[in-house]
Every structure is written in C-alpha cells, then in structure tokens.
Structure 1
Amino acid sequence: MEIQFIHYPACSTCKKAQKWLKENHVKFSERNITTENPTVEELEQWIQKTGLPLNKFFNTSGRLYKELHLKDKLKTLELKEIISLLASNGMLIKRPLLITDNFILVGFKEVEWKQNLIS
C-alpha cells in the first residue's frame, strides 16, 4: 500500500504524526502542503472518498483561516468556490493528510491512525 504523507514541516502536529509513522515502521512518501498545494481535482476526490463534511478539511485554528474570516464566509460560498479556496493555499487545509488507495485520514488522531495502519 502506497502512503502519501501531506504535511507542513513546521507544524507540531505534523511532526508528531511523522514521528509516529517512523516509530511504527510505516513507509510513506512526503509532500509539503505549502510548496505543493493539493489541486482542486485532488481535493474533490479526497472529499468524496472520505465522506467527511467539507469543513473538516479546513485548518480552522490557522492564522490564515481567521484572517480571511472564513467561518462566516464559507456559509455563503458554493461547493466549487470552497474547494478552489482550499486549493489556493495549503495553509488553509487541515493537516496532516494521509492518502492511500483505500482510505484518507485528515488530521492526526493516533487511535484512528493505528486502526487503519497497524491492525
């Protein structure tokens, strides 16, 4: 199973997740979310595949999210506009993301990662 670990290298949660992957001998390829933003097409696929609400893909605690006042603005945007906004800047996306052919994990929840990767 090929695993793509999409992260922001300076993010403490991403560092914790990466450490967890290494400690559990999970092989993965890395992708920096700030230098290689996910595309609109990728985001559409991931959102559909996870079945998660769109707001779960936003880094709601991030500075950019707050500066752009997205909590209120997202309520007025169409789906395509929201996905385009996400694709415009990797700092808006919740991270880390773990992408495989079988599943996608958004954010780092150790129990969830263990269930999907170790068991």
Structure 2
Amino acid sequence: MQFIYYPRCSTCLKALKKLKEKGIDVTLRDIVNETPTQEELVCWIRQNGKGIKPFFNTSGKLYREMNLKDKINDMNEDEAALLLSQNGMLIKRPLLIDGEKIIIGYQKEIYEK
C-alpha cells in the first residue's frame, strides 16, 4: 500500500498516524520529491471513476494562483494528469493507493475502519 503525502501537511500526518495506530504498513512517498507521473495519474483517475476534480487540491494556494477553478472543466484526463504531474502541490493529499483502490484526501470514516 502506497501513501502519497506532503510531510509538512497536518492532515497527511493525521492520516498517517491513524494508519500506524491500525497497524497498517505503507510505503511513504513524498508528493513533492516523488510526484506521481502523468501515467500513474491517468490510471488512478480512471480507476477512481469520478473525473479529474477530486485529484486537485482546490484549497491550495497554487490552485487559486493558477485560476484552475475556471480551467479544469475544459481539461481532459491526459491534460489534467500532465498538469498534476508537473507540480505535486496541485494534487489533493494524502493519496492512499492499494492496488485498484484509491482514497483521495483524509476521509476520517474510511481511515477509522
């Protein structure tokens, strides 16, 4: 299981702590230093089946600076994945990847299970 996170993000650290409490082993991946590739992101977007928007960190500074709110509706999966792969801070975090299953963001009710 892969845990993609930003080490200085309190929400990511809260999610990681919950996984450790549950005894779940994860491989850590820094979203900035080991940003997911375009290919990985396209695959995850398709597996998730909910479009591209859930993968964007819509509350992030960079998202707002780039005015992406008005742009992502016109992007296809490949364009969105390319943009996300170029800057990990645009990606909603943490990402928990377990084979075909993807959990985007810290969803307390899921992490509690």
* TM-score normalised according to structure 2 size: 0.93
Alignment of 1:1-119 (within 5 A): 3-115=1-113
Structure 1, residues 54-89: CA drift from partner, whole Å, max 9, x if none? 100000000000000000122333432221111110
C-alpha displacement at 1:113, in angstroms? 2.7
Q: Aligned letter for 1:85? A: L
User: How far apart in 1 are the matches of 2:76 and 2:89?
Assistant: 20
| Count of residue pairs brought into register by the alignment | 113
Q: Aligned letter for 1:92? A: L
* TM-score normalised according to structure 1 size: 0.89
User: How far apart in 2 are the matches of 1:49 and 1:105?
Assistant: 11
Equivalent position SS for 2:25? coil
Contact 1:40 1:83 in 2 (8 A): yes
Gaps in structure 2 of 5+ consecutive residues:
none
Query: Which has the larger displacement, 106-115 or 22-31?
Result: 106-115
Contact 2:47 2:101 in 1 (8 A): yes
Equivalent position SS for 1:112? helix
Contact 1:105 1:113 in 2 (8 A): no
Q: Aligned letter for 1:57? A: F
Gaps in structure 1 of 5+ consecutive residues:
none
The two structures, once aligned, show a CA RMSD in angstroms of 1.2
User: How far apart in 1 are the matches of 2:73 and 2:42?
Assistant: 18
Q: Aligned letter for 2:7? A: P
Identity of aligned residues (%): 49
User: How far apart in 2 are the matches of 1:102 and 1:113?
Assistant: 17
